Amino acid sequence: MASSFRFVLLASPVFALACVACGGASSASLPEPPVADAGAGADASRANVIAFDLSADVAASAETHVCQLVQMPAAPAGDTELFVSGGDYTTTAGTHHFLLFRTAPIDPPLPIGQPLDCFEGQGVMRFERGFVTGGQLRGENADFPDGAALAFKGGDVLLFQAHFLNAGAAAVTARVHVELRTTPAKSVRHRVGTFRFYDPYIFVPGHGAGTARMRCPVKHDVTIVSAGSHMHRRGTSYRAMLDLPGATPATAPFFTTNDWEHPPYFRGPLVAPAGSFVRFACDFASSDPADVVQGLSAEANEMCMFSAFYYPEGDLLEDECYDGDAHGGGARSCAQTLSCIQTCPRSEAPVFGDGKADVGPCFQKCIVDSCPNVTGKLFPELLCAQARCAAECATYGATCSKCVLDKCPTELNTCQALACGN
């Protein structure tokens, strides 16, 4: 089930730096993307290539998100699926990053290959149901290991999103060109999945420093093929650790970078048994006078994310860290964090969906200041209150407290009894 406190990335416009192509390419040597039919699938000139294009005119000193639906070609004769084993992309100036997502059924259908609003009102991002690929460089090109591929149904509709950011003094036409290479079904031994873990709780004080962190469970035996990070301009360092089942938490990261703008990739394979946890953290330093929190804007907000390709594929809830915890790095117990949240405006409570992770700054700061073991016990209490006491807890107070005590006693008592470090 979806949650307002555990961030289910059913509609997130965040960049996931674990592209289909895990090799590097120098931006200086890459040509401008060709202009093509925006919604086209198979490239008739190359039978195993699927190509998509997205472009936008971006005014000087402007920032925008543009979306459009694109469609995979029909599966080969005799098959219902087609398999992507690698690919490449190129971008032009004015492109901050792009993303390609799977979608839920769209009824009534929306037009293919036409620009659509990403977020406003009932934006198209509400149909997003899983990450495919993305990138933020001028270009990259590579393949999965032999026998590994992403599976698609023939005719699948995908959502192509680009974040365009023009810092220049003149308008530009920014373009993204993506090519996916297919492989015969008989050559596929490993169906690839995509982890996309996004931390919705970040707080960096004005003229100060802060750290965002998160832990995500691995629920079945997997091999991580490649992984990467994403932060905005205040990011100073990033690290990802793998905590093995029954072992003490890892102290040495398997992947680190200090480059927020053009981070490298982790190259696997890395075996993560069922019961493991991926734990990642982002350090920030801000020269801005105002506090900075998690959000969409590359200029005004920050992000902290881990993404990876792995096999064999799992389900969407595992891929998007439904059971994430360990968001805090402070000294507040679960009870103290709950009290902190109740001092925030009720409107700041998390609202996740329609392509956004809307969480107020007060709420984000309370979570960041909690002890590392808190959110795993706090979120079940908040979820219970949301499900069973929605009317009573429209505002905080005695009526809300009594309802939670009556209808969520186990969750409330567990939180109240939890001390830091337990």
Dihedral sign from CA coordinates of 417, 418, 420, 422? positive
- pLDDT by residue (tens digit) across 147-183? 999 999 999 999 999 999 998 999 999 999 999 999 9
CA–CA separation, 23 and 20 (whole Å): 9
DSSP-derived 3-state class of residue 2: coil
Instruction: Provide the Cα torsion 115, 351, 97, 156; round to 10°.
Output: -50
φ, ψ dihedrals at 375, nearest 5°: -65, -25
The answer on pLDDT for 6 being more than 70 is no
Which residues are CB-neighbours of 47 under 8 A, at least 6 positions away? Answer: none
Adjacent-strand bridge partners of 56:
174
Fold held by 27-184: Jelly Rolls (2.60.120)
- pLDDT by residue (tens digit) across 364-394? 999 999 999 999 999 999 989 989 999 999 8
Q: Are 275 and 163 in contact (CB under 8 A)?
A: no
- 36 or 381, greater pLDDT: 381
SS3 of 112-179: the string is: ECCEECCCCCCCHHHHEEEEEEEECCCEEEEECCCCEEEEEECCCEEEEEEEEEECCCCCEEEEEEEE
Q: Can you give the residue ranges of every domain in the chain?
A: 27-184, 194-319, 334-417
DSSP-derived 3-state class of residue 243: strand
pLDDT band (50, 70, 90) for residue 33? very low
pLDDT band (50, 70, 90) for residue 118? confident
**What's the whole-model pTM score?**
0.80
Instruction: Provide the Cα torsion 146, 148, 153, 158; round to 10°.
Output: -100
pLDDT band (50, 70, 90) for residue 346? confident
Q: Are 395 and 418 in contact (CB under 8 A)?
A: no
- pLDDT by residue (tens digit) across 47-94? 799 999 999 999 999 988 899 999 999 999 989 999 999 999 999 999
- pLDDT by residue (tens digit) across 246-303? 999 999 999 999 999 888 889 989 999 999 999 999 999 999 999 999 987 778 899 9
pLDDT of residue 381: 93
**How distant, in Å, are the alpha carbons of 102, 203, 281, 361 from that of 288?**
36, 13, 21, 15
Cα 248-256-20 angle, rounded to 5 deg: 110
Q: Are 338 and 411 in contact (CB under 8 A)?
A: no
pLDDT of residue 190: 95
- For every residue of 196-230, DSSP letters joined together read EEE----EE-TTSEEEEEEEEEE-S-EEEEEEEEE
Percent share of the chain, pLDDT over 90:
67
If you compute the radius of gyration of the chain from its CA atoms, what whole number of angstroms results?
22
- pLDDT by residue (tens digit) across 178-229? 999 999 999 999 999 999 899 999 999 999 999 999 999 999 999 999 999 9
Fold held by 194-319: Jelly Rolls (2.60.120)
pLDDT of residue 337: 97
Say yes or no: do domains 27-184 and 194-319 share a fold: yes
| Greatest alpha-carbon span in the chain | 69
pLDDT of residue 396: 86
- pLDDT by residue (tens digit) across 260-275? 988 888 998 999 999 9
Q: Name the residue among 153, 39, 13, 34 with its Cα closest to residue 88.
A: 34
pLDDT band (50, 70, 90) for residue 28? very low
- How is residue 70 written in tokens? 């694109």
